[in-house]
Chains A and B, each alone.
Chain A
């Protein structure tokens, strides 16, 4: 437990084999593990099966870079910017297999995996979901007088990417904002890779130990990636970059613009530092949370 789990971002993504199932943490425009996603695209990942919790650009960018063959969809949305552009296009073209899961399906599935059980009972809510995702839902025998139930099959990603605000080198990971599904996703995954905005001392971790949502035993590797959630927010440190999200959606609408986007921000920016340089210091500084923006 005392060994350092701090590794480089290249080392972290090198261990993600083509064809892996990949969990992605965060929530829509919050704490998407973007630095890890961009590094994985640069590595040339192929045929991934994504398991994103409610999300936006993390799965969409991987889909737009042609790294994905299937994805779970709990909720993939660009909220005020509309539908997720690449997810939508590839789903509508029929080239991306989509497994629709509801909250009970993903939560029940993760809980089953956490407990090493094959499935977890969830209520049958009368939806069309089980019909379209038979690999994830199965009917359970109905006992007269009891509620109708489904079996939510265990959801156990080969690896998951999570972004949090800080960790120590031992892998104690702290969330300074809502943890969303991250703790469940980490417990359910075979391998857990976390990027953080900053590495802090173990003393800092111990001083605020109620913030440790992922204790070291749940974490396999930690990567230091300042602003690694950009363009989504890193709760309490910086907000989502709405101008960048709008630029992304616009670029995604047109093939040449999309290639230019990938070149500038993903393939051509060979490291997290190069990505931040491509954005510019003033741009990033304007997103930092300050007292005046908390009114």
Chain B
């Protein structure tokens, strides 16, 4: 079918890149307003991770099966879920347990050089330049999951900051071993994905590093769009974009309504 030969939309690329990094049997929580996260987990279950276990953060439904994307809070997830937990029985018993979750995937208003994230305010909390939605489960998931991913659908100097204006999701804090010194369990951000490329963190310093650049993106372009110095080692490779087979699975089994194309073109 010609439809699967179309170039991937941004949301589709991000979902495929995330799906590839998930391992079979891992446990994941998916929060509210999480179309890309949900698509990534359901796609991974159709590829290398059939026993990936995911739970809806707001609604407590476990592994609902759908061929399209609906909000994780939506009651329609109930009828195809294998379990349905009440929020009071999962928030602290699961979210706050060290390393219960293998990973979480979080969006942000800002991410900084050490992978700390901010969804609260740009500027001063008492009189912000931009008032964001708040923290909800982000603090516990960044602090206590084995690893986390940061997903940004824009890459510019207002999003990639030397230091976030408000830490609501702890990454590597001040870099180096500061996360461990703050008493947090091992973990932190593994990858940051943006429209320009994929970024990881240099061992030791824990500073953000260019892992790969998306096709057609130059290092100069990324530097110009980032408000701190990225670590660059040698010539970064080009991101391996979604294959025809990955896109076909995504479009025919995970997102038949093409929500990702509509919301994240």
Residues of A within 8 A of B (CB): 27-30, 54, 73-77, 79-80, 83-84, 87-88, 91-94, 98, 100-104, 107-108, 111, 122-129, 132, 142, 147-148, 176-181, 183-184, 213, 233, 235-236, 294
B58 touches A98 (CB 8 A): no
A91 partner residues in chain B, CB cutoff 8 A:
121, 128, 131
B189 within 8 A of A: no
User: Which residue of chain B has its CB nearest to the CB of A73?
Assistant: B134
A126 partner residues in chain B, CB cutoff 8 A:
143, 167, 170, 173, 179, 182-184
A102 touches B140 (CB 8 A): yes
B78 touches A100 (CB 8 A): no
A183 partner residues in chain B, CB cutoff 8 A:
86, 88
Interface size on B, residues (CB 8 A): 53
14 A-B residue pairs with CB within 8 Å? A29-B71, A30-B58, A30-B74, A54-B58, A79-B33, A87-B131, A102-B135, A123-B96, A126-B167, A126-B173, A126-B182, A127-B143, A128-B167, A147-B183
B166 partner residues in chain A, CB cutoff 8 A:
128, 132
User: Which residue of chain A has its CB nearest to the CB of B35?
Assistant: A80
B191 within 8 A of A: no
Closest 10 pairs between A and B when the two form their complex, measured CB to CB: A177-B75, A125-B143, A235-B75, A77-B133, A94-B127, A91-B131, A178-B59, A75-B136, A126-B170, A148-B183
With beta carbons under 8 angstroms apart, the residue of B84, B129, B136, B183 that contacts A54 is: B136
- 13 A-B pairs besides A92-B127, A213-B86 with CB distance below 8 A are A30-B73, A30-B75, A80-B263, A88-B131, A100-B125, A100-B134, A103-B137, A123-B96, A124-B182, A125-B170, A129-B135, A129-B139, A181-B88
A127 touches B167 (CB 8 A): yes
Q: How far is the CA of A94 from the CA of B84 in the complex (A)?
A: 41
Residues of B within 8 A of A (CB): 32-33, 58-61, 71, 73-76, 78-79, 84, 86-88, 91-92, 95-96, 120-121, 125-140, 142-144, 166-170, 173, 179, 182-184, 263
Q: Total contacts A to B, CB within 8 angstroms?
A: 171
A98 to chain B, nearest CB (A): 7
Q: How far is the CA of A212 from the CA of B130 in the complex (A)?
A: 41
A286 to chain B, nearest CB (A): 17
B85 to chain A, nearest CB (A): 9
B263 partner residues in chain A, CB cutoff 8 A:
80
B182 partner residues in chain A, CB cutoff 8 A:
124, 126, 148
A213 partner residues in chain B, CB cutoff 8 A:
86
B140 partner residues in chain A, CB cutoff 8 A:
102-104, 123, 125
A74 partner residues in chain B, CB cutoff 8 A:
134-136
B60 touches A178 (CB 8 A): yes
Q: How far is the CA of A147 from the CA of B125 in the complex (A)?
A: 28
A125 touches B142 (CB 8 A): yes
A102 touches B168 (CB 8 A): yes
Q: How far is the CA of A192 from the CA of B136 in the complex (A)?
A: 23
B32 touches A28 (CB 8 A): yes
Q: How far is the CA of A28 from the CA of B142 in the complex (A)?
A: 22
Q: How far is the CA of A75 from the CA of B182 in the complex (A)?
A: 25
The verdict on A127 contacting B134 (CB below 8 Å), with A94-B127, A236-B75 known, is no
A28 touches B95 (CB 8 A): no
Q: How far is the CA of A142 from the CA of B181 in the complex (A)?
A: 13
A162 to chain B, nearest CB (A): 13
A101 partner residues in chain B, CB cutoff 8 A:
134-135
B131 partner residues in chain A, CB cutoff 8 A:
83, 87-88, 91-92, 98
With beta carbons under 8 angstroms apart, the residue of B73, B86, B135, B136 that contacts A127 is: B135
B233 to chain A, nearest CB (A): 28
B126 partner residues in chain A, CB cutoff 8 A:
94, 132
A102 touches B73 (CB 8 A): no
A212 to chain B, nearest CB (A): 12
A166 to chain B, nearest CB (A): 14
A102 touches B136 (CB 8 A): yes
B170 touches A294 (CB 8 A): no
A102 partner residues in chain B, CB cutoff 8 A:
135-140, 168
